[in-house]
Structure 1
Amino acid sequence: MQPVAPTNKYSIKYFPDTVRSWTKEGNYLYFHTTETILEVRVISDKVVRFRYAADGDFQRDFSYAVPAELKESLVFFDIQENEETFEIVTALIRVLIDKDNLRITITDSEGRIINQDEQGFHWQYYLSKGGKIVYCSKQIQEDENFFGLGDKAAALNLLGKRFENYGADTYGYQRDTDPLYKNIPFYYGLHHGIGYGIFFDNTFRTLFDFGNERPEACSFWARGGEMNYYFIYGPQLLDVAREYTRITGTPDLPPMWALGYQQSRWSYFPDKRVVEIAHEFRNRHIPCDVIHLDIDYMEGFRCFTFSEENFPDPAGLVKTLADMGFKVVVIIDPGIKVDPEYEIYQEGLAKNYFCRRADGALMEGDVWPGQCVFPDFTNPEVRAWWRSLFKRLVDVGIRGVWNDMNEPAVFEIGTFPEDVRHDYDGDPCSHRKAHNIYGHLMSRATAEGLKKYLMPHRPFVITRSCYAGAQQWTSVWTGDNSATWDHLSLASLQCQRMAVSGISFIGSDIGGFIGEPDGELYIRWLQLATFHPFMRTHSASNETNFNQDPWSFGSKVEFIARKFIRLRYHLLPYLYTTFWQYATEGTPMLRPMAFVAQEDAETYHRDHEFMLGDHLLISHVSEPGMQEKQVYLPEGNWYYYWNDKTYAGGTSFPISTPLDEIPLFVKAGAVIPQYPRMEFVGAEPVSEMILHVYYEASTVHSILYEDAGDNYGYRNGQFNVIRYKVTGGERSLRLKKKFIGKYESGCYRNRIIFHGLPFEAKEYVIEGKTYKLSKRNFALGTVKIAVDRSFEEIIIR
């Protein structure tokens, strides 16, 4: 170990010295210095884990983010010892480890530097808390940019910024407030067209500096635990996203209704008011699938209870809503009211399931019910108990649960004191280590309980706080935002960032939780949220008498709101397919421009534009009274959704922004599937799928995935994957289809609309038969035909 002055050992930073020996055990390599050991695990040709034992003793190899069954998938792996370095070689990258100090350089197979240690790993004693502070610093390469890191209220590009992960209840947060609710210690680097990722799997308070302190260095460190990080090579940023999601776990498919529109407020009560809201949606023909019940549905805010006064017959209420096509989602917080007459408090106390302070006293604090205690979700026995509690909600008919206040939040003191003790799955620790995964494990236990008792239905869970890997079981939202234009912009930034940080099932409180939006702000927010995977209006409107429902702003706003919520339902097949791609391949559903065109430096600082899936590009309206905005389109050809006007990418264009439109573009060559109009998922069988086909003078591929939209039949092959190939010529357009699957969807017909034809079509050919096109089939560059769904190829000419 090489100490650096000054002489007080508790203020010294220690660095590894010369490698004394090394060993190889399968795909694990160990490099021993005088005291420090570096463990290198080669997981795949592009993923390597680096783990350091500062004083020669590794801690337990355990993660709440990475599944224990993560397997290696190597094509080629070798190690060579050179005079100055060890060189680990895979099919795609080379890892050079300096013999003198364990500093690491990673190159591609052609020798181009991808990532390189600056000071590398080092550490110091943490005198005031115990243990060690572990550091790693990397050189910032020329023109390097950084992305990711989850829930941060800042520009997408992280260069020059510094951030912290220590989940906090940040009511009314503002731009650059940090930390926020979620703890995702994963970032991307991009330079010279090469993308990579770093996932720092450490649950202590972690910090990241992207050239803020020293412009030449990117560093990350934790106030406890191990230096344990995964390096992920792209070279495409989307490749990095796929690998990161594979490491931390892919989600199950949600019930399709969870992708529909959801309505909430703090709070709808009593039960008659909830039914009134449901009737308003149906009478006004505004699609909606979910109504949320906030804390006032409970008896004195006691979790897993219903108010005898306001909800005397919860099962009857849920059935009434179900008959109208609504699912009910209820909020559950971690605070359990201290009440000797409260069954759940009695049971948890008797079984010692609640968190305790260092001296053995219960961790008590005030939240909504008053004085509360808090389950220790890091204890597997407590998680099993928590799972069992959801039977009483499922028996009532509840279909989803919303976990809130789980940073954990405590009135007056903010969160748990650091001396609170946790089980940590058999490795007892203080709250310093468990804080960032408290809400994470609460939502996991919630999801497991719902999954058990809802079977064969799929569960739906929302959480406010989480750690890396939460995408395996939950959706998230951006927390207690405000009804301001800046928060509208932050919603776009945060949702994009969360998506590329592994958690795509993300949304914001439409219109803002705090305060009252005017009709223009509400509509612009609703338009943006139409293209976010989780779409919910929610507000703190119990503080006033204002209702933030789609009809609350007058008839003009209601008309536009209906238009966009209907558009959301039309796009459900596309959205569901995009979710399937995320669940199977790990590709983020929302994609910032740098992830779409990383070779284009113009995209590195583009925050407004993003893509939903493979083919839709959105640029939200971010200012009041905006009648026009500049929109940047990446390379390629694009159609403006509202009028089919075409644009060549690689530059900016002025786009008019009337209140009833949001700049929305379709990639040329795409096939966009749409449902007919519906008021809720499953309102009636879908017998016809609409396919919008956009002409392109080349070959473009699209995909459609479908299954029952609920249950787990898809795991047993009950699904269809339909692949489309569009090829455009000077006088023809060819649409080919490949169908794989055995799910009987009930859809027997396609209505196909061909957009942007550069020729006047006279006929179409299907299965060798030629049919003439009449004037009613052709208008303004579009052709509309209806065909049996079994077609394999259609030629328009």
Structure 2
Amino acid sequence: MQVATSSGKYSVKHYPDTVKEWKQEGNYFYFYTTETILEIRVISDKIVRFRYAADGTFQRDFSYATSEKMEDAPICFEIKEFEEVFQIDTDAIKIFIAKDNLRLTITDKEGRVINQDEMGFHWQSYLQKGGKIVYCSKMIQEGECFYGLGDKPTDLNLRGKRLENYGTDAYGYHKDTDPLYRNIPFYYGLHHGIGYGIFFDNSFRTIFDFGEEREDVQSFWARGGEMNYYFIYGPELLQVAEAYTKITGTPELPPLWALGYHQCRWSYYPDTRVKEIAAEFRKRQIPCDVIYLDIDYMEGFRCFTWSKEGFPDPAGLIKELSAQGFKVVVIIDPGIKVDPNYAIYQEGVKNDYFCKRADGALMEGDVWPGKCVFPDYTNPRVREWWSSLFKSLVDTGVRGVWNDMNEPAVFELGTFPEDVRHDYDGEQVSHRKAHNVYGHLMSKSTAAGMKKYLMPNRPFLITRSCYAGVQRWSSVWTGDNVSSWEHLWLASVQCQRLAVSGISFTGSDIGGFIGEPDGELYTRWIQLATFHPLMRTHSASNETGFNQEPWSFGSKYEFVVKKFIQLRYQLLPYLYTTFWQNAAYGTPMLRPLAFVAQHDPQTHNCTHEFMFGDALLISHVSEAGMKEKEVYLPTGRWYYYWNDKPYEGGQLVKIATPIEEMPLFVKAGAVVPNYPKLQYTGQAPIEEMTLQVFYDDQPAHSTMYEDAGEHYGYKNGQYNVIRFKQASDKQQFHLKKKFHGNYEATYKKHRVCVHGLPFTPTEYVVDGKVFKLNARNFAVGVVKVVLDREFEDLIMR
């Protein structure tokens, strides 16, 4: 087969021929054809890596995505040889390798097809650039849906689309803009109730076609490198998500303050303006933990400097803000100003830390400081140097860093030319291979420096560009979005997609970075962002001087915005528990309905509804003037959060949407922990933890995780995991609690609020002791009791 190239020349597509021989080395299997070698590595019963050497020689087995903690742990596997195929069996799947062309078919133990090659692996020489373009094509199964691929601003189900990964500064992007900032070559397939995932670990430009070119064929390819992908079997999609993080890693727990509300603008300048913003939050009693400083805090946009005019005493400013309960996060870009009097530039040139062109000249390009050079973060020596630069910021009091412009973005050029050279941890490659990991490694070295100098406190990091696995050290946001209702919808879809692509700690610029929202749009955005792991308002400077703070749109909207930010703080123990699930097990914090009810076809294309943790279902208001909205509830029983009205799932329900509410449901049986009202985390010791319990007559389990929320004591056992089981019936409410851990929490009491009881109890029993209920224990639809934190068994009857 001949394929036309853009130069008008032709290159031949090559396909593997018949297997000549094979061998097994432990959990590795090798199949040899005339030119090609297929390596199959059985990592676990449900995770298998397929790697092809097109010309008989494997490239270096190296990845910036995979976690050092990934271990091969297959329980049981064996190979069988038949006339036409080889068959590798694990305890969960069967892999069939065709002898005549290496094409793969993967089935479950019952023989149901999970994933099947069409042409399978093939390749062609890349005549223009060198190396090979490596391809893999697979059959699309009947009714198959596809999810994942990071921050793509398009429908949640990717069926019928073609998308690519090549980190791009997509200022003011819109629906279906592609590519965007992040490079996550991981997707899910779902058909016949069976879920699986494929992670194509290749840092070159990668392209994925989910049936756009041929409606029954799904394919993925890269313009360089190897065909190297991991197959992950569920069969549940959430199991696939958790298994993916066994490959790429899970995050550490963030400081609790990072889950509070963040306020940012380009730019709060000078320091007196920063103080005014902080004072306004406290005056209006709107909770806030974090204030950001954008590029104007620097001296001429030089990284790791402070403006002498605008921020003459940065340590004093940060100390003053800290006394009011604020943490400061500062922006750091990769561009280092060409200035012989600038110490960091001097040091970088002296030690050969900056990227160079193919002919040896420094890679120079204009960004905010003017002419700049750029560190080569693929060089471990450079990463170590870059990490060391953060000591000065930490010594000044900075608690978090925001890495921006790291696709890398360069004015006029867009990004680096492809001839730029990179160390790539000793491999020496062009920018073609390093582009998609540039920002990834910048954020990794930034995080390492912040962690080192902030120890024993936990750092916070946010990055714009990254590769698969960034969740191990950073959060992300959805980039330079626009103040529009379309972008509010995109924010919901993008954050869901990022969460199931391994990156749960994500959010959007509330209200839009570009443009000016009205009060309704900003308020609806705040409502959605209340249920995103990262909650940050950010906006650009503009000629009108418009500010985008919670009070900027008048008292009517301020009241509602304040209500939802307060709700965010009350839900912090629930949110923190959900983050712990992500850190411990890799479970996404945001879960599209298809990921919690995949056997219900009605959920496969749901974009508005998603689960936030185990218990909360959110459906944001996405249109101006919307008075009512249809919400799809999965099978089960649900309570409407604002009035406790019960609903049966498996249907669309109509919900009124006044501005002071958004559709929010709680799963029956859930226990949702709440803090009292706070202005910032750590404002005062928590004296009482409220447990909002929602009655169900079916057994239900909930979990609460807690630790100090600031240091790394949790890694040494200083944490508690509290598990609840509700085992109620129509005459009796019964809540059991089991406590595991060594953390001494500050609160001594639980206020237990039981919602939705179908009877009126007269007494409650705590660990065998009977107490009478009186009028003080009853509110509208709720029964309340205050118990010692150590209680283990509560009955109401």
* TM bracket (short chain): over 0.9
Match of 2:759 in 1: 759
Between the aligned partners of 2:3 and 2:540, the Cα distance in structure 1 is 54
SS of alignment partner, residue 514 of structure 1: coil
Match of 2:478 in 1: 478
Contact conserved, 1:255 with 1:460, CA < 8 A, in 2? yes
Q: Deviations over 1:756-789 (max 9, x none)?
A: 0000111100121111111221233310111111
Between the aligned partners of 1:111 and 1:189, the Cα distance in structure 2 is 17
Aligned-residue offset at 1:560? 0.7
Aligned-residue offset at 1:5? 8.5
TM-score scaled by length of structure 1: 0.99
Following superposition of structure 1 onto structure 2, how do residues 75-224 of structure 1 map, counting pairs within 5 Å? 75-224=75-224
Following superposition of structure 1 onto structure 2, how do residues 418-567 of structure 1 map, counting pairs within 5 Å? 418-567=418-567
Q: Deviations over 1:666-693 (max 9, x none)?
A: 0000000000011000000001000000
Between the aligned partners of 1:469 and 1:230, the Cα distance in structure 2 is 14
Following superposition of structure 1 onto structure 2, how do residues 569-584 of structure 1 map, counting pairs within 5 Å? 569-584=569-584
Whether 1:661 and 2:678 are equivalent positions in the alignment is no
Aligned-residue offset at 1:556? 1.0
Contact conserved, 2:635 with 2:649, CA < 8 A, in 1? yes
SS of alignment partner, residue 258 of structure 2: helix
TM-score scaled by length of structure 2: 0.99
Between the aligned partners of 1:194 and 1:636, the Cα distance in structure 2 is 21
Between the aligned partners of 1:636 and 1:549, the Cα distance in structure 2 is 39
Between the aligned partners of 2:9 and 2:658, the Cα distance in structure 1 is 65
Whether 1:713 and 2:713 are equivalent positions in the alignment is yes
Between the aligned partners of 1:187 and 1:10, the Cα distance in structure 2 is 31
Following superposition of structure 1 onto structure 2, how do residues 46-445 of structure 1 map, counting pairs within 5 Å? 46-445=46-445
SS of alignment partner, residue 747 of structure 2: coil
Contact conserved, 2:45 with 2:74, CA < 8 A, in 1? yes
- The percentage of aligned residue pairs carrying the same residue is 71
Letter in 2 for 1:589: M
Between the aligned partners of 1:218 and 1:543, the Cα distance in structure 2 is 47
Whether 1:633 and 2:633 are equivalent positions in the alignment is yes
Letter in 2 for 1:221: W
Between the aligned partners of 1:734 and 1:579, the Cα distance in structure 2 is 27
Q: Deviations over 1:68-105 (max 9, x none)?
A: 45211111110111111010000000000000000000
Aligned-residue offset at 1:271? 0.5
SS of alignment partner, residue 728 of structure 1: coil
Contact conserved, 1:541 with 1:548, CA < 8 A, in 2? no
Letter in 2 for 1:626: M
Between the aligned partners of 1:621 and 1:176, the Cα distance in structure 2 is 21
Letter in 2 for 1:411: F
SS of alignment partner, residue 638 of structure 1: strand
Aligned-residue offset at 1:428? 0.5
Between the aligned partners of 2:745 and 2:120, the Cα distance in structure 1 is 55
SS of alignment partner, residue 383 of structure 1: helix
Between the aligned partners of 1:492 and 1:542, the Cα distance in structure 2 is 26
Q: Deviations over 1:465-484 (max 9, x none)?
A: 00000000000000000000
Between the aligned partners of 2:777 and 2:82, the Cα distance in structure 1 is 71
Letter in 2 for 1:295: I
SS of alignment partner, residue 541 of structure 1: coil
Letter in 2 for 1:89: D
Contact conserved, 1:693 with 1:755, CA < 8 A, in 2? yes
Between 1:222-231 and 1:760-769, the stretch displaced more is 760-769
Letter in 2 for 1:513: F
Q: Deviations over 1:198-238 (max 9, x none)?
A: 00000000000000000010000000000000000000000
Aligned-residue offset at 1:727? 1.6
Aligned residues: 795
Aligned-residue offset at 1:247? 0.6
SS of alignment partner, residue 602 of structure 1: helix
Aligned-residue offset at 1:747? 1.1
Contact conserved, 1:264 with 1:536, CA < 8 A, in 2? yes
Letter in 2 for 1:518: D
Aligned-residue offset at 1:6? 9.4
Between the aligned partners of 2:68 and 2:27, the Cα distance in structure 1 is 16
Contact conserved, 2:3 with 2:10, CA < 8 A, in 1? no
Contact conserved, 1:139 with 1:218, CA < 8 A, in 2? yes
Contact conserved, 1:761 with 1:778, CA < 8 A, in 2? no
Letter in 1 for 2:221: W
Between the aligned partners of 1:537 and 1:572, the Cα distance in structure 2 is 18
User: Alpha carbons of 1:9 and 1:411: their partners in 2 closer, same or farther (altered >3 Å)?
Assistant: closer
SS of alignment partner, residue 22 of structure 2: strand
Match of 1:701 in 2: 701
Q: Deviations over 1:437-471 (max 9, x none)?
A: 00000000000000000000001000000000000
SS of alignment partner, residue 11 of structure 1: strand
Contact conserved, 2:364 with 2:372, CA < 8 A, in 1? yes
Contact conserved, 1:737 with 1:791, CA < 8 A, in 2? yes
SS of alignment partner, residue 398 of structure 1: coil
Letter in 2 for 1:87: Q
Between the aligned partners of 1:653 and 1:577, the Cα distance in structure 2 is 29
Aligned-residue offset at 1:740? 0.4
Between the aligned partners of 2:27 and 2:726, the Cα distance in structure 1 is 44
SS of alignment partner, residue 466 of structure 2: coil
Aligned-residue offset at 1:729? 0.8
Q: Deviations over 1:23-71 (max 9, x none)?
A: 1111111100001000000000000000000000100000000124521
Match of 1:623 in 2: 623
Contact conserved, 1:10 with 1:124, CA < 8 A, in 2? no
SS of alignment partner, residue 416 of structure 1: coil
SS of alignment partner, residue 617 of structure 1: strand
Give the ranges of 4+ consecutive aligned residues of structure 1 lying more than 4 Å apart after TM superposition.
3-10
Letter in 2 for 1:480: D
- Note the residue ranges of structure 2 that are not aligned, 5 or more in a row: none
Between the aligned partners of 1:542 and 1:565, the Cα distance in structure 2 is 26
SS of alignment partner, residue 605 of structure 1: coil
Between the aligned partners of 1:782 and 1:282, the Cα distance in structure 2 is 32
Contact conserved, 1:758 with 1:781, CA < 8 A, in 2? no
Q: Deviations over 1:691-738 (max 9, x none)?
A: 000000111000000000011100110000000001221111100000
Letter in 2 for 1:611: M
SS of alignment partner, residue 638 of structure 2: strand
Contact conserved, 2:2 with 2:11, CA < 8 A, in 1? no
Match of 1:596 in 2: 596
Between the aligned partners of 1:513 and 1:718, the Cα distance in structure 2 is 40
- Note the residue ranges of structure 1 that are not aligned, 5 or more in a row: none
Letter in 1 for 2:320: T
Between the aligned partners of 2:197 and 2:544, the Cα distance in structure 1 is 45
Contact conserved, 2:31 with 2:38, CA < 8 A, in 1? yes
Between the aligned partners of 2:746 and 2:342, the Cα distance in structure 1 is 49
Q: Deviations over 1:290-313 (max 9, x none)?
A: 000000000000000000000000
Whether 1:677 and 2:665 are equivalent positions in the alignment is no
Letter in 2 for 1:776: R
Between the aligned partners of 2:276 and 2:250, the Cα distance in structure 1 is 38
Between the aligned partners of 1:604 and 1:17, the Cα distance in structure 2 is 38
Between the aligned partners of 2:260 and 2:73, the Cα distance in structure 1 is 37
User: Alpha carbons of 1:434 and 1:6: their partners in 2 closer, same or farther (altered >3 Å)?
Assistant: closer
